[in-house]
Each structure stands twice: as structure tokens, then as C-alpha cells.
Amino acid sequence: MTKETALGAALKTAVQTMSKKKQTDMIADYIYGKFDVFKRFKPLALGIDQDLIAAMPQYDSALIMRVLANHCRRPRYLKALARGGKRFDLNNRFKGEVTPEEQAVAAQNPMVKEMLEKQAARRAEAAKEEGGETQSAEAVEGTVQEAAPETSAE
């Protein structure tokens, strides 16, 4: 444990005089501003709660946990979990993997299901459009190739 300085103690006292809502908002602003892993909604490393508490001793640990819980319930974060892959610590370094069970649980969230379905529909639409463009490009190419022998024959 680090020794608490007079300035740190004063800051902690000042912060604790604020309402819980203001403190929670302040913690969220700090976390999203400082840690890229939160801004980008990457899957978080297991045990990141203790790292956050250690990184922000001036805040009440219960409020830090509340902010973390709110972040982890967001559809964008759940979608990242559903995709799977690596987990990251506060310094954006690889620290573990998302398990298939965690992916399945995240994918069961109704908002995540809806987002994944919309994404699949957009991909299908884009593939259909791309297929149409490919067919029209092939038709143009075929027309050019048909015209080319006529001009070379002259």
C-alpha cells in the first residue's frame, strides 16, 4: 500500500462531500478519458476492478464498481464480448481470452441479439449489392470484350 499524502487526503475528502451521482459521473468521465480500453469497449481483463480501485484511491471503491458494472452492461461492450477474442488490462495489454461460455452469455442479451441481427442484415444487403455490381461490371466487361475484336479486325 502507498502512503496517503496530505493532498491525496484532501482530494479524497473533497470528492466524498459530493453527491454519489456526481462522484459516479466524475469516475466515469475519468475512466473513459484515461483508459483506451474503456473508450473502445474492448473486453476487459478479469480482475480489472482491483486495478481500477488501486488506480483511483480518491474514490469510493463501491462507486468504482458501480461505474464498472454500468460499463459492462452496455450493449456495445456485450457485443465486443460476444465477438470473443482477447481481454485487455488498463494499459491496453493482452491479458487473457474471452471464453466460449462468456461469448454465449453475452450473445443472449436481447439488445446484443438485435444488434448482431441488424449487422448480419447489413452485411447480406452489402453482399447482394456487391454481387449486383459484380454482375453489371462483368456485363460491361463482356460488352467491351465483344467490341474489342470488331475494332481489331478493321
Cell of 90: 488498463
- Is the model's pTM score more than 0.75? no
Phi, psi values for residue 18, rounded to 5°: -75, 165
CA distance 30 to 23: 10
Cα dihedral across residues 91, 95, 97, 101: positive or negative: negative
Q: How far apart, in whole angstroms, are the C-alpha atoms of residue 98 and residue 23? A: 31
pLDDT tens digits, one per residue of 54-80: 999 888 899 999 999 999 999 999 999
Residue 29 cell numbers, joined: 468521465
The model's pLDDT over 13-59, given as tens digits with 9 standing for 90+, comes to 777 778 889 989 999 999 999 999 999 999 999 999 999 999 998 88
Q: Which of 65, 59, 61, 55 is nearest to 26 (CA)?
A: 59
